[in-house]
Amino acid sequence: MSGTIYQAAAGALLQQMRLDMLSNNLANVNTTGYKADQPVFRVNAVQPEAQKGLGPGRITSYAPPLSAGTDFTPGALAETGNDLDVAIVGQGFFEVQSPDGPRYTRNGSFAINDQGVLSTAEGWPVLGQNGPITIDGSRVEIGEQGDVYVDDESVGAIRLVDFPNTESLRKAGDAVFIAPEDVASQSLEDGQALMAQGFVETSNVNAIKTMTDVIETLRIFETYQRIIRHVDDTNAKAVSDVGKTV
């Protein structure tokens, strides 16, 4: 097969992968706390010696590696009026305890689980400064520093954490992240971030820009398709004309 077809096919496949990421972003435009995926083409990673094998993110030696980065830009805050909803104003993540270990999220749409503990929609406890926070009462107040009061009695404080390099986090769900075993979270000091009760952070997906990117991706994909058809037609004509005499 022509090297040109290989290159065009590799380019089309990369655009298909990019389209998948963009489509997933659009599907989560209304997911609380969702952070958009960003396709990253690492052109400078293409080295002569890399042609001998395919490293991480490589689908072919004819195309640069593609990976998904995460845009951690905060989303807009939406008021819900729900006392158990909390939005982070500034940096950081809520730390929650999943059955598989700690997870991190900016989705503050909380509830009270079967054990009477402040939790995520999945029932995972939200960790406070001294562990899970028990809610046993009717009126819940959450201060800017995360202090939780139930019927005017202090029951704990929501803990916010952050990481020196958020690029090390990987998604473990639409709005949930997991940290590598060798990367430890760091508690945020008072004043580094605030919490707003009765609000949630919306998805940071820009729907209009993403739709524009989808259209651009489709057009590039179609261009690669036309290149493949053109080269294929040229090759077929060359083969059919071999041996013909005037």
Q: In this structure, are residues 80 and 154 in contact, taking their beta carbons and an 8 Å threshold?
A: no
User: Percentage of residues in the chain with pLDDT exceeding 70?
Assistant: 86
Q: Is 214 helix (H, G, I), strand (E, B) or coil?
A: helix
Distances, alpha carbon 209 to alpha carbons 29, 145, 168, 192, in Å: 12, 34, 26, 31
State the angle between helix axes of 3-27 and 207-241 in degrees (0 to 180), rounded to the nearest 10.
160
Task: List the structure tokens of 47.
Answer: 């080295």
Predicted local confidence at residue 2, as pLDDT:
61
* Model confidence at 198: pLDDT above 80: yes
Give the whole-angstrom CA distance, residue 119 versus residue 104: 13
| 160-162 and 77-79 beta bridge pairing | unpaired
Q: Each residue of 62-104: pLDDT tens digit?
A: 555 667 789 999 999 999 999 999 999 999 999 999 999 999 9
DSSP letters of 25-42?
Answer: HHHTTTSTT---EEEEE-
- Whether 194 contacts 90, CB under 8 Å: yes
How do residues 162-180 score in pLDDT, each as one tens digit? 998 898 999 998 799 999 9
- Of 29-38, 57-66, 233-242, give the lowest mean pLDDT range: 57-66
- pLDDT, residue 155, reads 96
The answer to whether 65 and 42 have CB atoms below 8 angstroms apart is yes
Q: How far is Cα 160 from Cα 188, in angstroms, rounded to an integer?
A: 6
> 59 pLDDT exceeds 60?
no
User: How would DSSP label each residue in 109-136?
Assistant: B-EE-TTSBEE-TT-PBBEETTEE-B--
pLDDT exceeds 70 at position 48? no
> What pLDDT digit, counting tens, does each position of 113-139 carry?
999 999 999 999 999 999 999 999 989
Token pair, residue 132, equals 């899970």
For residue 138, report the phi and psi dihedrals to the nearest 5 degrees. Answer: -110, -30
* Mean pLDDT in residue range 186-190: 84
Distance of CA 245 to the CA centre of its chain: 61
Q: Which two tokens stand for residue 200?
A: 């949630």
Mean pLDDT across the chain, nearest whole number? Answer: 86
- 46's CB contacts (< 8 A; 6+ apart) are 64, 65
Nearest-CA neighbor of 109 among 123, 128, 92, 130?
A: 123
> Higher pLDDT residue, 234 or 143?
143
Would you state the pLDDT for residue 45? 47
Q: What is the pLDDT of residue 35?
A: 96
Cα distance between residue 163 and residue 37, in whole Å: 19
